[in-house]
Amino acid sequence: MKLKLLAMVLFLLSACSSPEVWAPEPQQWEEFTIHLETRPEVMRQGMNEFLLIVNRKGQRHIPDLLVKIRTSNSKWKQAMPDGALGIYRRALQVQDLQHEQLYVRLSYRGKEGALTFDLFPKNITAQ
């Protein structure tokens, strides 16, 4: 029993201390909440897939929302909706894990907005 408890505590501590599984805080634009995830979950230099999960007051299907994204080293690309799930996907090149950001342009029924997500926590050094 004590061994299981110790193993669980060590697992939790290692998971909490790893900057590799970090994700930025969700952001708001208009009535939308936008979460960012990456594939692979542990971002690497090279191609990474970005998933923007958008919801509006619990609703995931948002017709007419246009999402474009880019990194510091890429051009604007439209993120493609993944069915009616409120998930917008696009793979982009990432060269500098520690300093690059994801720039997001949103367009919805004549309104335009912009968000910026850090791709790495500011207070931790990349491995």
The pLDDT tens digits along the chain (127 residues) read 665 554 555 555 444 444 467 899 999 999 999 999 999 998 899 999 999 999 988 777 788 999 999 998 899 999 999 988 899 999 999 999 889 999 999 999 999 999 999 998 876 655 5
In a domain, 15, yes or no: no
Q: What is the CATH number of the domain that holds 105?
A: 2.60.40.10
In a domain, 109, yes or no: yes
- Tokens 């696009």 — which residue? 90
Q: What is the pLDDT of residue 47?
A: 95
In this structure, the number of other CB atoms found within 10 A of the CB of residue 64 comes to: 8
In a domain, 66, yes or no: yes
Q: What is the pLDDT of residue 18?
A: 44
Q: What is the pLDDT of residue 6?
A: 47
The residue type of 53 is I
Total domains in the fold of the chain: 1
In a domain, 54, yes or no: yes
Task: Report how far residue 49's alpha carbon sits from residue 43's, in angstroms, rounded to the nearest whole number.
Answer: 9
Considering only CA atoms, which of 127, 120, 118 is closest in space to residue 98?
Answer: 120
Pairing of strands 101-108, 87-94: unpaired
Extended strands (E) in the chain: 27-29, 32-39, 46-55, 65-71, 77-78, 80-81, 87-94, 101-108, 111-118
Range of the domain at 73: 23-118
In a domain, 50, yes or no: yes
In a domain, 62, yes or no: yes
What does pTM read for this prediction?
Answer: 0.79
- Tokens 């971002």 — which residue? 43
Task: Report how far residue 127's alpha carbon sits from residue 123's, in angstroms, rounded to the nearest whole number.
Answer: 13
Q: What is the pLDDT of residue 22?
A: 82
In a domain, 8, yes or no: no
